[in-house]
A and B are shown apart, each in its own frame.
With several copies, the nearest count.
Chain A
Amino acid sequence: MSVKKFMYVNRKAPYGTIYALESLEVVLIGAAFDQDVSLAFIGDGVYQLTKGQNTEAIGQKNFSPTYSALGDYDVNKIYVEKESLEERGLTLDDLQHLVWEDEDDDWAEKDSIRLVSRAELADVLDEQDIILSF
């Protein structure tokens, strides 16, 4: 069976709604299916990746550490829209540093996050076979 291009589009902030958490659950399960997986963080979706989340006082589970485990599941194409960050006064430094180890390059550690312009992201979306939206 041929491999399909799966894209998970994340546009919602974490904790205010459950979509970020449950989207991550699909991504983890989906990683076992050996498809060509990408994640896009657009609009408020970029807030899912901020450093230093501490949910103790709101009584919800802090699921942000899970993003750093994605590399271990071979989920390493994480597109972050540049314009979305800028509109929100954020830079890459405000986000977690997500990495993966490249088996084909002597396990070199590489960045998972690809900062892309809106136009570049439009091209990436256009190539997908299956787009899951949350």
Chain B
Amino acid sequence: MALLHTVNKSPFESNTFDTCLGLAKDGSTILLIEDGVYAATTGHSVAEKIKNASGISFAVLGPDLQARGLEGKLADGIKVVDYEGFVTLVTEHDAVQSWL
């Protein structure tokens, strides 16, 4: 089994990202959407946490990243997907856990 986790909260305002990271198992994917995309940028403490979570795949919803003007600050190793890619991630994993 492998879960797809979605996180839609800024990691600077809410503990949702940290909670997700604490409960995501190796082999699962964390998709950052809505205000969750701020975790996908560089130059702050959250970027370090992502770099250290080696067993987990990270993806970010491109439309939300573009909306916020932060495409140029995307951290390495995070895959950018559009809504179609979001759907594909849902089908490729066994279940979806939305961390709201």
Docked-complex contact B38 and A121, CB < 8 angstroms: no
Segment at the B interface, from A29-37, A39-47, A68-76, A101-109: A39-47
Q: Summarize B's interface: helix, strand, loop or mixed.
A: mixed
Give the number of residue pairs across the A-B interface with Cβ within 8 Å.
117
Any B CB within 8 A of the CB of A54: yes
Q: Counting CB contacts under 8 A, is B30 at the interface?
A: no
- A13 CA / B23 CA spacing, docked (Å): 19
CB neighbours (8 Å) of A53 from chain B are 66-69
A128 at the interface (CB under 8 A from B): yes
Chain B, residues 75-100, CB within 8 Å of chain A (1/0): the string is 00000001000000000001111111
Known: A50-B68, A54-B69, A57-B62. 6 other contacts (CB 8 A): A14-B67, A16-B10, A55-B66, A57-B66, A87-B44, A88-B38
Top 9 closest A-B pairs, CB basis? A89-B43, A16-B35, A57-B63, A52-B69, A50-B69, A89-B44, A53-B69, A55-B67, A133-B98
